[in-house]
Amino acid sequence: MKINKTYIAPMVGRTDIFFRILIRSISDSINLFTEMTTCDAYLFTDRRNYKVDTNEHHISIQLAGSDPKKFAKCAKIIEANGYDELNINVGCPSSKVIKGAFGACLMKEPKILSSIVTEINEHSDIPISIKTRLGLNYDESLDLLINLITETRAVGCRKFIIHARNAILGGLSPKKNRSIPKLRYQDAETIKNMFPDLEFIINGGIEEIELIEEKLDIFDGVMIGRKIYSDPIFIQRLQNHLDGKDFQLSRSEIVEKYLDAIQLLKHHNSNYLILRHLFGLYYNTSKSKKWKKLLHQIISEDLNVNELRKFKEH
Ligand SMILES: Cc1cc2nc3c(=O)[nH]c(=O)nc-3n(C[C@H](O)[C@H](O)[C@H](O)COP(=O)(O)O)c2cc1C
């Protein structure tokens, strides 16, 4: 099965429990990620109480921070809560991250990163991965990345997710940092070839099935973010293509599955939170406008979300 080599990218404000339920209503095999959480937010909010649902596996939680001891504390709780993997964020370029000296800034601090990996390993058995960029600012050499991988591999990190562009610190917003620095897949491939014993997942601007297939021949996995968020049904096409299946849930069936699963959640949640990730479900179809209008109406008039079940797909 090839679909289990694909990953939903971690996205703040998007890959929350509702989006993950939506994805699981479409595919039970694509790998899931949480949103990025700082170690402090994990330790001191009710995030630490969330236990992974059996349907969510395989799921990685992404943590950001720079204090190895805090990572160790989080790792113990994360392991007990049932996550399959702890991913360390070494790619986020936001100004908050620069102040806190974590995220992409850690590319310059491989010793801190290796202490983080060591501490996690000493206090838990959870598998670790690192999500990072090719480099920082306008320097296109791969020295920082090679150093980072060498140091963390020496203390047991085996898996790296490479967003195949640099992070520009201090000059560009996070959004611009996802489009302006140029994509350099070839450099990611060079890294993959330098460390044949490690696992590399490629990420960044991968939106077509053919490109995913091509990258799966080179890398150990492919991570996709914005394309899946704007067009979740894409996963179904991808899964069928990669694994030679012809399995097709209708959009109405997906909505049924989604609403049934949401209704099992214990907390009361606002319609906005429940529905905000569904806007792309009819992406590029003649029903898209009507669908979005209905979602807006249910949210703004606080109607029962089950109204969605009445939507006529054809
Ligand atoms: C709204 C949004 C939020 C994001 N939040 C995170 C995050 O929390 N952690 C992270 O490592 N990357 C984050 N990213 C970056 C994605 O994980 C991914 O690396 C990037 O979007 C490139 O992949 P894509 O071209 O397939 O979207 C975010 C991206 C978007 C669009």
Predicted pLDDT at 185: 98
Q: Is the CB of 93 under 6 A from ligand 1?
A: no
Q: Is the CB of 110 under 6 A from ligand 1?
A: no
Ligand 1 atom with the shortest distance to the CA of 89? 11
Separation between Cα atoms, residue 158 and residue 13, nearest integer Å:
28
Which residues are CB-contacts of 55 (< 8 A; sequence separation ≥ 6)? 21, 24, 28, 261
**pTM of structure:** 0.97
Q: Is the sign of the CA dihedral 24, 26, 28, 33 positive or negative?
A: negative
Predicted pLDDT at 101: 79
Mutate to test the pocket of ligand 1, among 11, 219, 231 (most ligand atoms within 8 A of CB): 11
Nearest CA-CA partner of 148 in 172, 114, 185: 114
Fold of 3-243: TIM Barrel (3.20.20)
Please give the distance, rounded to the nearest whole angstrom, from the Cα atom of residue 30 to the centre of ligand 1: 17
Mutate to test the pocket of ligand 1, among 133, 160, 175, 178 (most ligand atoms within 8 A of CB): 178
Buried b (16+ CB within 10 A) or exposed e, 76-96: ebbbeeebbbbbbbbbbbbee
Predicted pLDDT at 95: 79
Place of tokens 């190895």: 68
In the chain, CATH 3.20.20.70 sits at: 3-243
Task: Work out the pLDDT band at 117, boundaries 50, 70, 90.
Answer: very high
Nearest CA to ligand 1 atom 8: 36
Place of tokens 């102040």: 99
Predicted pLDDT at 212: 98
> Quick check: is 92 catalytic?
yes
How many Cβ atoms are within 10 Å of 223's Cβ, its own excluded?
A: 23
Q: Which amino acid is at 36?
A: M
Flag whether pLDDT at 94 surpasses 90. no
